[in-house]
A = this chain, B = another copy of it.
């Protein structure tokens, strides 16, 4: 599969594909200790000799390191940001060394709750320490050192990836020349927090969750995870977009759940999205990552929000999505204004779309248009 280059390896992977890097022991900011972190990572393009032409792409909640690539056996839909990444594309792999790594706490190759705890020799489960957006960014920094990156030309990502992008600018001032948080703010609002908790309750109420120790039992909290995904999907779309896409039309997909007075298309869609995630995502990772998203507060550890934003040295582009209700455009705009008031060179642009929060994974032309002036 992919090689483990071990801690201290200072070289880019020799060939395309997922690689795994051990980046040492880790102390999460809220407590606990992880004896060894491994991060899964993919790269595209070549790192220059100065090590400063690197772009870090940060994935969304249930994403992974496979940002770019055509559809394949393993990745039927191809890379999740493929139209944005490649030769001549907005993130141009002829110019940049592009890196995407699975986040700390994830389940697509990086150390997370499904990983073996070397002390107990069983999976961490809920004994995995809480990890924060800042922890994810600090782990990414170690990975970049391992890869020989001295400076980033750009950090970019949406949603929880946008939170990490913002944290990059605050935690490591000036390490990245440019930073573009998309559909993200310095702190998630209560409506997002509430929807997030509904998902976690569904997972934790599933008896197959078994307090998080479901690994190897032959049972896993699939129903709970599917419901969590359904709740998540609601926050990723807009009311008007759903009217256009689903309306009140009956389902056309085959049934996955018992019928109760028929089945609307939106229900069937949610059932499929729920099942789809079950096959590819670990329920405990869902708990940890959604919690990290909730807990993120850019001001944490500083005297004030202003102090946090005043640290920024990167040129920033905040991108809002007009119909987003997880991170409303008005709040993204306000975040840009706060950063600017604190002295940062912060721009704001907005994508006008009915696709809601998910727009940054769909509206390629609009996204390219929004990013082009900033990237060029």
Q: Using a CB–CB distance below 8 Å, which chain A residues touch chain B?
A: 30, 130, 187-191, 193-195, 197-198, 200-202, 204-207, 223-224, 226-227, 230-231, 233-234, 237, 239, 242-243, 245-248, 257-258, 260-262, 264-267, 270, 274, 287, 291, 294-295, 297, 325, 328
Contacts and interface: CB of A to CB of B under 8 A. Distances in A.
A30 B260 CA distance: 12
Contact of A227 (B201, B265, B297): B201
A348 B260 CA distance: 34
B270 A198 contact: yes
A30 to B, nearest CB: 7
A34 to B, nearest CB: 16
A328 B81 CA distance: 34
Given A190-B246, A195-B234, A239-B328, 11 more contacts: A130-B260, A193-B264, A194-B230, A194-B233, A194-B242, A194-B267, A197-B230, A197-B264, A202-B202, A204-B257, A205-B223
B193 A248 contact: yes
24 contacts: A189-B248, A190-B246, A190-B247, A190-B264, A190-B265, A190-B266, A193-B266, A194-B233, A195-B234, A197-B270, A198-B198, A198-B227, A198-B234, A198-B270, A201-B227, A201-B230, A202-B205, A202-B227, A204-B257, A205-B206, A207-B207, A239-B325, A261-B294, A261-B295
A372 to B, nearest CB: 31
A287 B264 CA distance: 15
B205 A224 contact: yes
Contacts of A227: 198, 201-202, 205, 227
B200 A260 contact: yes
Contacts of A189: 239, 242-243, 248
A261 to B, nearest CB: 5
Nearest to A231: B198
A190 to B, nearest CB: 4
A260 B203 CA distance: 13
Contacts of A223: 201, 205
Contacts of A295: 261-262
A190 B260 contact: no
Nearest to A242: B190
Contacts of A207: 207
A197 B239 contact: no
A330 to B, nearest CB: 10
Nearest to A233: B194
Contacts of A258: 204
Nearest to A238: B191
A201 to B, nearest CB: 5
Contacts of A224: 205
A328 B223 CA distance: 31
A325 B270 CA distance: 19
A256 to B, nearest CB: 10
Contacts of A226: 201
A131 B171 CA distance: 57
Contacts of A262: 295
Which of A224, A261, A270 has its CB near the most chain B CB atoms (within 10 A)? A261
Contact of A248 (B187, B198, B287): B187
Nearest to A206: B205
A60 to B, nearest CB: 20
Contacts of A206: 205
A242 B192 CA distance: 10
A143 B270 CA distance: 39
